[in-house]
Structure 1
Amino acid sequence: MSTTRRQVLAGSLALGGSAALLSACGTVTSEAPTLSGPGLNAIAKTKGLRFGTAISSGALKDPRYLDIIRHDCGSLVAENEHKIYVVQGQEGLYQFDRGDAIVDFAQANDMAMRGHVLLWNRDEFLPGWMKDKDFGDNPRAAMEAYLDDYLTAMLTHYQGTIKSWDVVNETIDPATGLPRETLFTQTFGPDVVDWAFRKARAVAPDTQLVYNDYMIWEPGNEKHRTGILKLLEGFRSRDVPIDAFGIQSHLGTGDGSVRNTYPDPQRREWRNFVDEIVGMGYDLILSEFDVNDTRIPADIATRDQMMADYGGAFLDMMLDYKEVSEILAWGMADHHSWLRTWWPREDGVIKRPGLYDDKYQPKPLYYAVQKALKNAPSR
């Protein structure tokens, strides 16, 4: 997403991710979740799909939320706990405890685990020590030595437990459609992204390797989509080992004044974009699905239904592609969603971005996801 969103996201880590959201939103009711019938992952499995969610280590302290996760999810991804500023906030010191807690929960509940992310090619999300580091007279060699150690440590630590990794995240600048200029590209060189995938394949040959990015079907993403296609084409022409493309799927993004509808999606352009990607032989993951309610009317019934209609339409389109193997929500309940505190509504109304509300009850968006999974073709 935008630099503003990600900068705030990085700053939130000192507060403990979603655990901070809980305290920021006040007391959450202890009412038990309404969990009847098959969960979303059980439905997804009947179509050859898997459904999961992002989760923070702080959310592991919320037992009723974990009931929802167990009911609906067959896979997990750490919201922040496998990112470099968490794992290596201090030079030379690896801190796996928060990420390990999530992996342990996944294993204890027979859930698959995705990794996010090995190389987030954005300077604003690097630990401070790395930005200040002197890489010496041969910066490429120094950076390669560092990345070799870091990627090897991450991939071997989670060997056998994380079967799919976002190796590189968000390397295309949405404003220009060109690769970002970062500390990595300036010290190592522009081929650092190719190198990262080749290194990951060498260390973890049986792991699914994914490139992940956030362009979407709404107006304003045209340059971003063009840049992504050029990037993916280049990977194929250079035989870079990438198995899948992660479409983050953050819908209704952005801030600004309240409007009556979501932006009209560019359906034809979006389908052409996805067609080109699958035509290159990439599998697809909907890796960070959610629907933002910053700009739509405040009335709860109206808002919830608009979110359900918009999110459901996107999933209906995307699940037509049999190359889609997995959907992960970026948080399942309102108080466990980053959108609760990012892009606040200018009218001050509390946001409702989750599939479940603060009382752990399913919302229209939940049933829209359920319907889309039921209607999806088998694969």
Structure 2
Amino acid sequence: MILLVLTSAMLFLNSCSKDDNAGADALQAPVANPAKDITNTGFRAKWMYVSTAQSYLLDVSASADFETFIPNYSSKPVTDLNEVVTGLDGGTRYYYRVRAKRNEEISAYSNVISVVTNGVSSIPEDPTFLKVKVSQLQNPFYVGMAVKADQLVSGNPYDVILKNEFSSISAEYEMKMNPISVASGVYNWEAADKIVAYGNKNGINVHGHALVWHMAVPNWLANYQGTDAEFSNEVKKYITDVVTHYAGKVRSWDVVNEAVDDNTGNLRNTIFLQRMGPNYVNQCFQWAREAANAAGDTDLLLFYNDYATSTNIPKQNRMYELIDALKASNLIDGIGFQMHNTYLSPTKSQIETDINRAVGKGLKIHISELDIQVNPFNDISTFTNERRLDQKDKYKEIVKIYNAIPAANKYALTIWGMRDNDSWIPYNTELNHPGNDWPLLYDSNFAIKSAHTGFLQGLD
């Protein structure tokens, strides 16, 4: 009897041991390591040893989703822990992953490794004109560019590119209050008129930027000695006169720009808040709407414009409180999302969440000042292949997000400057990388960059 019990116990323990060994013996997925020995035409893919694996299966693709594979690198059998991948193009991003194999058993995929080859790509950038491809969409929108009046000279590169590629323009600075308003009721229209006339003459939409911004207050108004009520009347007069002057010539206006504070989520403590009170945003929109209607411009679109709302949630929430109040009074048509982004931030999810709040409110959406920094940490001194392709992917991502919104919510997607050396970013001391950034679609020689191709790919 004792022998029978002992025999049964031994059989039970042996059975458990076999089950445990079977579980421990399951073929594990490899861990892929960063590529080594990168050249213009290839690299060495590497991965960690998997116990009991007899061989490995290597995939190499030019797309992160592995929908297509580099020839001869789809489940390529490899018996070593590395493989030299050859026959690639220079200056191009590739991806690799690996699986372990034992007899007929194949493990799950490893992590995916991204690698950019050295040198210059032989694949040309897509030369398709932006507005041409956008016009072929089922639900097209304006493709915009920020401009300066002195760039608008017939036959120069700015002029040629604008006419070929863009269907909308925004004044980078010359339609703000400071350059226009010389004194109470006294205006210098020269630069702004040139921009508006250029757009009207060439069939290019004109977006007005911006009626009220705390960083563009003329000295006479900043030092105004009248009462708060008189100060408000001066702002009203300015808005009324500008909207009236451009009635029927400017399709839309940023009425108020950057009213929400970055740090508190409250209204920014500007001269307008101090002298006009917390209802000043609504007042400015009301005056703009009244001026447009009085001038017979009943189709004028009014926008609120701000930045960093995709990552700054208190700021985002306060902005939408402003929007709700304006919408309740039928004073607003859309929101301008500036999108002075980096190649890392905001994420796709953050951008979609922010924009979808506007979609849900039935508002038009203007990505109003798009540029993408590639050197936010000042860690590169030249425009590397890696950052070039990161920027391309980010432009593609943003355009794809915008193109996916409903037709009724689309207005324009505006790039904030033409050439890298025209951008404000490399020369902004607060950003801490003076001269070392390349945020736009064209290089200093007016040649299209990979970012331009990324824009086009976002429309597919």
TM category (shorter chain) comes to 0.7 to 0.9
Q: Deviations over 1:64-94 (max 9, x none)?
A: 1221111101111111111011001444420
Q: Percent identity?
A: 26
Q: Is the 8 A contact 1:198 1:240 kept in 2?
A: no
**Superposition deviation, residue 112 in structure 1:** 0.9
2:305 to 201, 212, 217: 212
Alpha-carbon distance between aligned partners in 2 of 1:129 and 1:194, rounded to the nearest angstrom: 24
- Distance across 1 between alignment mates of 2:233 and 2:159: 40
Name the residue aligned to 1:353: 439
| Alpha-carbon spacing, 1:132–1:245, altered in 2? closer, same or farther (3 Å) | same
Q: Distance in 1 between matches of 2:429 and 2:373?
A: 9
Q: Does the 8 A contact of 2:416 with 2:423 survive in 1? A: yes
Separation (CA, whole Å) in 2 of partners of 1:147 and 1:200:
11
TM-score, normalising length: structure 1:
0.79
Of 342, 355, 362, which aligns to 2:448? 362
Give the 3-state SS of the residue equivalent to 1:58 in structure 2: helix
Which segment is superposed worse, 277-286 or 317-326? 317-326
* 2:341 aligned residue: 251
Deviation at 1:284, TM superposition (A): 0.6
SS at match of 2:210: strand
Q: Which amino acid aligns with 1:75?
A: S
Whether contact under 8 Å (1:251, 1:311) holds in the other structure is no
What letter corresponds to residue 197 of structure 1 in structure 2?
Answer: F
Alignment partner of 1:46 is 2:100: no
Shifted more, 75-84 versus 178-187: the winner is 178-187
1:153 corresponding residue in structure 2: 241
**Contact 1:59-1:336 at 8 Å conserved across structures:** no
1:328-347 residue pairs with structure 2 within 5 A? 328-343=414-429
CA distance in 2, matches of 1:348, 1:203: 42
Amino acid at match of 2:157: R
1:77 aligned partner, one-letter code: S
- Any conservation in 1 of the 2:375–2:433 contact (CA below 8 Å)? no
Q: Name the CA shift for 1:266/1:73 in 2 (closer, same or farther; >3 Å).
A: closer
Q: Which has the higher strand share?
A: 2
Alpha-carbon contact 2:144-2:166 (below 8 Å) kept: yes
Question: Which amino acid counterpart does residue 359 of structure 2 have in structure 1?
Answer: V
Greater relative contact order, per chain length (Cα 8 Å cut-off, separation 6+): 1
Q: How does 1:85-234 map to 2 (within 5 A)?
A: 85-120=178-213, 122=214, 124-136=215-227, 139-140=228-229, 142-204=230-292, 205-218=298-311, 221-234=312-325
Total equivalences in the alignment = 324
What is aligned with 2:158?
65
**1:282 corresponds to 2:363:** yes
Give every structure 1 segment of 4 or more consecutive aligned residues whose post-TM-superposition deviation is greater than 6 Å.
Answer: none
Q: What amino acid maps onto 1:308 in structure 2?
A: K
Match of 2:386 in 1: 302
1:91 to 1:35, Cα distance in 2 relative to 1, 3 A: farther
CA distance in 1, matches of 2:264, 2:330: 23
Cα distance change of structure 1 residues 243 and 91 upon mapping to structure 2, 3 Å threshold:
same
Residue identity matched to 1:208 = L
CA gap of 1:129–1:345, structure 2 versus 1, over 3 A, is closer
Q: How far is the alpha carbon of 1:299 from its aligned partner?
A: 4.1
Cα distance change on mapping 1:173 and 1:369 into 2, 3 Å: same
> Helix, strand or coil for the counterpart of 1:104?
helix
Residue pair 2:252, 2:302 contacting (<8 A) in 1 also: yes
Q: Is the 8 A contact 2:441 2:449 kept in 1?
A: yes
Aligned Cα root-mean-square deviation (Å): 2.3
What are the ranges of 5 or more consecutive residues in structure 1 without an aligned counterpart?
A: 1-33, 253-261
**Counterpart mapping for 1:24-35 below 5 A:** none
Distance change in 2, residues 1:216/1:293 (3 Å): farther
Q: Counterparts of 1:156 and 1:346 in 2: how far apart (Å)?
A: 41
Partner of 1:125: helix, strand, or coil? coil
Q: What amino acid is the match of 1:50?
A: Y
Q: Evaluate the alpha carbon distance shift between residue 335 and residue 144 of structure 1 in structure 2; reply closer, same or farther with a 3 A threshold.
A: same
Kept in 1, the 8 Å contact 2:171–2:208? The answer is yes
- The aligned residue for residue 242 of structure 1 is 332
In proportion to residue count, which structure has more helix?
1
How has the CA–CA distance of structure 1 residues 118 and 265 changed in structure 2, closer, same or farther, with 3 Å as cutoff? closer
* Equivalent residues of 2:310, 2:316 under 8 A apart: no
SS at match of 2:394: helix
Structure 1 residue 35: Cα displacement: 11
Structure 2, unmatched stretches of 5+, are: 1-123, 293-297
- Letter matched to residue 159 of structure 1: A
Distance between the aligned counterparts of 2:161 and 2:171, measured in 1? 16
The structure with more radius of gyration: 2
Cα distance in 2 for partners of 1:332, 1:93 equals: 32
